[in-house]
Amino acid sequence: MDTTRRGCLRAALALAAAQECAGPSERTDSSFDPWIEIHPDNLRHNVKEVSRRAGSRPILAVIKNNGYGLGVSNAARVFEPMPEVAGFAVVKLDEAFTLRESGIKKPVLLMGPFDERNLEDVAAKNILPMVYTALGPALERVAQRLQRPVDLHVCVDTGLGRVGVPYREAAVLIRDLAGHKGVRVAGTMMTFTEDPDFDQEQLHRFRTLSSSLEAEGVRLGRKHAASSFTLFQHPDAFLDMVRPGMALFGVYSEPQFRGRRILDLRPGVALKTRVVYVKQLPKNESAGYERVYMAQRDTWMATLPVGHADGAPRALAKGARVRIREELFPVVAVSASHLIVEIGNEPKVKVGDLATVFDWTEGSRPEDVGAACGASVYDLTMHLNPLLPRRFVSN
């Protein structure tokens, strides 16, 4: 990473830290600007739940894509003190560096791309690359310069077809990597397609490969395959370590999982703002671009200064409701920076009232909002604007 880019990253981290720690008199954002709340107690509860479900196996916490909306460093700081969490996994190289520059000490697995120019910097910071090509000679050179072996995880493609060495070719690659003195295989991993029938075949392929190599004396490190989805579907795939993401952040990735009572998940993130404008819309007048909403009668409306640029998807206008003054009101229009909400026959809200797009309250959870309008819970969390303030809250 070049000096300018590293400097920008450090500046962004400093700004984020200032936003997290600022008291009410120190805030630089308008009182009407949207913000994101982080509930660390809920996050810690979810770790305990996952650990219970996984039979106390270590957890490799996936905090990719800006920590599922919390901020990658914010998420890591909550999870790192917990003994159940063995380390972290990210996809972007910058996120791996950000964790180290934020003071995170536990192992970090980089599951995304890098080139050989990055390899020495990655290894020097004790970031474990996910490898699936013949990088043995390059790793050996890096190990010689660092005067210690390079730890890594090998990714095996058992059928997802995204990345990873194809399982039929994996034994040759893993033997080669493990045969280098400068390489230490700390883990071997696969990812399910989440097709229930084919998942069993994938697991069979992975187990067959692993058993064969281990019988030869090849060390594979911790084997892991279980994402949040797998925690609900395939307890036989928990292996040596589980690798959840969304479950740690308290959101059920699939609607059917919520009612199974396998895991009691509590959302750890909320998107909030304040009502900025209230008015009565006369009958037959419109609201929103393309006149998406037409008043059937004189109707009170509220405008919220949060929109799809902040992470509130356009799909909200297809049935989602926001909570204002503990009452739910339908979203009727979404633009880049605003939501328009139908209040009804009476002016039940006023400028300055707290408005919650989603949080950890029953009826306003990300799953509730997503189910109401057809939005994915991933869209509601992963797309939160990284420039919005993040604030830690408690019960």
> Which residues form the catalytic set?
64, 289
Tell me if 37 is assigned to some domain. Answer: no
pLDDT in tens, 77-129: 999 999 999 999 999 999 999 999 999 999 999 999 999 889 999 999 999 99
Cβ neighbourhood burial of 297 (10 Å; 0-12, 13-18, 19+): exposed
Same domain, 346 and 224: no
Residue 350: CB atoms within 10 Å: 11
pLDDT tops 50 at residue 198: yes
pLDDT in tens, 242-278: 999 999 999 999 999 999 999 999 999 999 999 999 9
Same domain, 238 and 348: no
The whole-angstrom separation of Cα 140 and Cα 160 is 30
Same domain, 330 and 206: no
pLDDT of 29 reads 58
The whole-angstrom separation of Cα 8 and Cα 302 is 38
386 close to 66: Cβ distance less than 8 angstroms: yes
Where residue 227 sits, what CATH number does that domain have? 3.20.20.10
Tell me if 164 is assigned to some domain. Answer: yes
Q: Domain range spanning residue 354?
A: 269-392
Residue located via tokens 């295989």: 185
Coil, strand, or helix at residue 77? helix
Tell me if 8 is assigned to some domain. Answer: no
Domain stops at, among 220, 250, 280: 250
Number of domains in the chain: 2
Tell me if 341 is assigned to some domain. Answer: yes
Same domain, 72 and 171: yes
Tell me if 384 is assigned to some domain. Answer: yes
pLDDT of 24 reads 36
Mean pLDDT, range 126-134, rounded to an integer: 97
Same domain, 239 and 277: no
Beta strand 390-392 with 35-38: parallel, antiparallel or unpaired?
A: parallel
pLDDT of 123 reads 97
The whole-angstrom separation of Cα 246 and Cα 278 is 36
Domain stops at, among 188, 220, 250: 250
Q: What angle do CA 219, 222, 224 make, to 5 degrees?
A: 130
- The b-or-e profile of 90-100 (16+ CB within 10 A means b, else e) is bbbbbbbbbbe
Tell me if 146 is assigned to some domain. Answer: yes
Same domain, 246 and 103: yes
Same domain, 106 and 244: yes
Domain stops at, among 217, 250, 283: 250
pLDDT in tens, 38-62: 999 999 999 999 999 999 999 999 9
Same domain, 81 and 218: yes
Tell me if 2 is assigned to some domain. Answer: no
Sign of the alpha-carbon dihedral angle for 176, 182, 188, 191: negative
The whole-angstrom separation of Cα 151 and Cα 191 is 20
Same domain, 209 and 329: no
Where residue 283 sits, what CATH number does that domain have? 2.40.37.10
> Which ranges constitute the DSSP H helices of the chain?
3-21, 40-53, 64-68, 72-79, 93-101, 116-124, 136-146, 167-178, 196-215, 228-233, 255-258, 366-373, 377-382
47 close to 81: Cβ distance less than 8 angstroms: no
Q: Give, in order, the Cα–Cα distances in Å from 276 to each of 189, 195, 268, 339, 383.
A: 49, 45, 26, 10, 23
Same domain, 87 and 236: yes
> Which ranges constitute the DSSP H helices of 182-262?
196-215, 228-233, 255-258
pLDDT in tens, 20-31: 444 333 445 567
Same domain, 233 and 320: no
Tell me if 286 is assigned to some domain. Answer: yes
pLDDT tops 80 at residue 162: yes
Same domain, 225 and 130: yes
pLDDT in tens, 136-153: 999 999 999 999 999 999
pLDDT tops 60 at residue 7: no
